[in-house]
């Protein structure tokens, strides 16, 4: 028996508000379906999040229908479950529409009994557990599944009480499993339940294949008597889901390859990953001064393809203009993230300097004002910098008291007879407003 396993298609997702990205997600789905048909699979599994939303647009639905017509025309059934992005609390979802058109078979807990060529039902309390069934050459396999459920629901409803396989069977779930996510991404605190809903001990045993979705990174392992597989998303999801990552080590950029995107073909219960060529996402991070950043990014630019999406993360002690750096990377999409943080330098003995040794009087006053619980006059803080900084820079040198007294005496002895009576006029200094793009951090750092 041979089948295709995919998940997290996210049709209709205009990533970064770019409509052409939704088109690329749709093309990836069509490519997978066409390749599955070329491989002559017996059936196809979609383990959740076929759509990016529970209310896909008419255009998105039209594209899904056209693509799913391909396996239907060749008599290849498609079995699916709803994911966290496209599940609905209503009785009817986009999946029910596709099912009514004969394009897929929705498995899981349902309100009504369903009996068809590829679906059968059994009573489960006041609802029905709808299962997929496929037979070929005297052999049969059952496809069990459940749409995405919250951690709270899964704590009250044990999966092992719902799913009890007999014979050859597949279980489809769209959930995060704590131990597997930790193996992929590192330890997760128990308090961070948003990242997972299940633990390995919660999985029912006895299945030959666990077709999972929800985690966008591909992963496979063994569980009980079967294989457990996350195929990952078809397209790159964000810059954490990079094709390649570059990290500056002080001398050069160190590259690290990411995880490939694609789906699985499973034959005789042995999964084989099929890679898709998708738009590359490249993540660059550097902590250096302006001159170094410009020089090294320019060197790196030759290694980055023009169709790439790039995130450039720059960190340094003092702010600088990054507009020239943007011009060094001629790519499809560029996101520059800057973090300018002035470091505290320790004095002798390893002690941190006192505030008045590190900050100027103006900076100390600004810290005091902005630290108040109720800051009502933001303009006062701006005026402090615009007016106070200027005063601090242009203030003339003070003369010694003795010299001032001598000058005053000279003025008293030699009055100016031609002088007109002094008129008292109050000169108002023009109120300077910060221009567009003004940066308090630049003032704090002394400007550059």
Q: Which of 304, 16, 279, 184 is nearest to 312 (CA)?
A: 304
Report the alpha-carbon distance of residue 167 to residue 310 in Å, rounded.
49
Question: Over 262-291, what HEC string results?
Answer: EEEEEECCEEEEEEECCCCEEEEEEECCHH
Strand partners of residue 285: 247, 313
Active-site residue flag, 10: no
Q: Which long-range contacts (CB under 8 A, 24 or more apart) does 396-401 make?
A: none
CB atoms under 10 Å from CB of 149, counted, come to 20
Task: Write down the H helix ranges in 10-158.
Answer: 19-38, 58-73, 94-100, 151-156
Strand order in the sheet with 309-316: 253-257, 244-248, 281-287, 309-316, 333-340
User: In angstroms, how far apart are the furthest CA atoms of the chain?
Assistant: 125
Contacts for 409 with CB less than 8 Å, ≥ 6 apart:
none
Q: State residue 99 phi and psi, 5-degree precision.
A: -65, -40
Confirm if 147 and 82 have CB atoms less than 8 A apart: yes
Report the alpha-carbon distance of residue 256 to residue 118 in Å, rounded.
44
Confirm if 71 and 29 have CB atoms less than 8 A apart: no
The number of helix segments (H) and strand segments (E) in the chain equals: 13, 19
Confirm if 384 and 366 have CB atoms less than 8 A apart: yes
Instruction: Out of 85, 144, 174, 214, pick the active-site residue.
Output: 85
Strand partners of residue 144: 171
Confirm if 145 and 162 have CB atoms less than 8 A apart: no
Residue 299: its H or E element: helix 290-301
**Beta-strand relationship, 244-248 and 108-110:** unpaired
DSSP conformation class of 168: S
Active site (catalytic) residues: 85
């Amino acid at each position: 028996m041979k089948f295709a396993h995919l998940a997290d298609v996210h049709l209709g997702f205009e990533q970064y508000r770019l409509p052409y990205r939704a088109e690329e997600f749709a093309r990836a789905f069509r490519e997978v379906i066409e390749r599955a048909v070329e491989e002559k699979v017996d059936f196809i599994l979609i383990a959740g999040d076929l759509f990016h939303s529970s209310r896909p647009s008419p255009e998105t639905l039209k594209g899904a229908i056209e693509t799913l017509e391909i396996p239907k025309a060749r008599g290849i059934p498609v079995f699916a479950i709803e994911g966290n992005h496209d599940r609905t609390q209503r009785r009817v979802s986009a999946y029910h529409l596709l099912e009514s058109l004969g394009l897929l078979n929705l498995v899981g807990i349902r309100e009504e009994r369903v009996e068809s060529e590829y679906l059968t039902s059994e009573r489960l309390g006041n609802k029905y557990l709808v299962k997929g069934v496929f037979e070929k050459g005297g052999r049969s396999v059952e496809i069990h599944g459940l749409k995405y459920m919250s951690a709270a629901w899964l704590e009250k409803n044990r999966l092992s009480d719902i799913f009890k396989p007999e014979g050859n069977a597949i279980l489809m779930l769209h959930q995060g499993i704590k131990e597997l996510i930790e193996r992929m991404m590192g330890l997760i605190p128990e308090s961070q339940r948003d990242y997972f809903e299940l633990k390995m001990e919660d999985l029912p045993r006895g299945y030959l294949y666990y077709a999972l979705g929800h985690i966008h990174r591909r992963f496979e392992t063994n569980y009980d008597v079967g294989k457990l597989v996350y195929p990952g998303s078809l397209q790159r999801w964000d810059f954490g889901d990079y094709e390649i990552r570059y990290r500056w080590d002080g001398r050069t950029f160190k590259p690290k390859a990411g995880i490939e995107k694609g789906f699985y073909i499973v034959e005789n219960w042995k999964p084989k990953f099929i890679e898709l060529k998708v738009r590359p996402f490249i993540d660059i991070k550097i902590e250096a001064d302006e001159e170094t950043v410009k020089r090294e990014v320019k060197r790196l630019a030759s290694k980055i393809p023009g169709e790439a999406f790039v995130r450039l993360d720059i960190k340094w002690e003092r702010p600088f203009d990054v507009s020239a750096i943007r011009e060094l990377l001629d790519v499809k999409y560029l996101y520059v993230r800057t973090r300018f943080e002035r470091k505290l330098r320790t004095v002798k003995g390893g002690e941190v300097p006192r505030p008045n040794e590190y900050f100027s009087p103006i900076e100390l006053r600004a810290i005091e004002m902005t630290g108040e619980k109720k800051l009502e006059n933001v303009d006062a803080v701006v005026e402090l910098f615009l007016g106070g900084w200027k005063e601090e820079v242009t203030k003339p040198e003070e003369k010694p008291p003795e010299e001032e007294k001598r000058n005053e005496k000279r003025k008293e002895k030699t009055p100016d007879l031609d002088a007109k009576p002094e008129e008292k006029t109050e000169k108002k200094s023009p109120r300077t407003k910060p221009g567009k793009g003004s940066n308090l951090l630049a003032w704090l750092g002394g400007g550059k």
